[in-house]
Amino acid sequence: MRVHRISALAAAVWLAAIAPARPADPPSLEAIARRYLSAQQRAMEKTAGPADVDAVLAFCTDSFRYVHPAFAAQVDGKDAARKGMLSHLGETSGPRFAVERAMTAGRNVALDVASSFVAVESGKRVERRNLIVLTFDGDRISLRADF
């Protein structure tokens, strides 16, 4: 009986070793969106630097576009986004982002985000609630629209 168990165990180990490895499932778009927001939160720390901005933009396509219709703002291209983000380094501290709800529809992820940060110049905490819609091209963000 003992020999039979050992043989069965040996066979199971051998089969596991020769079975083709199943590739890991790619991360969901929502998971990528959440990691993108985490990188953005780090880039809003007072001590953030160019590497933190680059970490945010690593999630984006070269043709990335940012729009904020309420402020008639539009930034076209990753280089322009980098330049804009670098110009605001050190202006905020203590950022907090909390995704209250998320929804994925096709290549789009909508995030209901409660965020806050301290405006360094005034020392006042700013609290906001935003709807952020991210459109993906593959696993990279091609469009961010803030509402």
On whether residue 8 sits in a domain, the answer given is no
Residue-wise pLDDT for 73-108, tens only, equals 999 999 999 999 999 999 999 999 999 999 999 999
pLDDT higher than 60, residue 45 = yes
pLDDT band at 22 (very low <50, low <70, confident <90, very high): low
Interacting residues of 41 by C-beta distance below 8 A, sequence separation 6+: 95, 96, 97
Q: Which of 72, 66, 42 is nearest to 56 (CA)?
A: 42
| pTM: predicted TM-score of the whole model, two decimal places | 0.81
What is the residue range of 110's domain? 28-146
CATH number, position 99? 3.10.450.50
Q: Answer yes or no: is 83 within a domain.
A: yes
Residue 38 lies in a domain: yes
Residue 10 lies in a domain: no
Q: What is the dihedral of CA 113, 119, 125, 128, to 10 degrees?
A: -20
Domain count for the chain, please give it: 1
Flag whether 6 is in a domain.
Answer: no
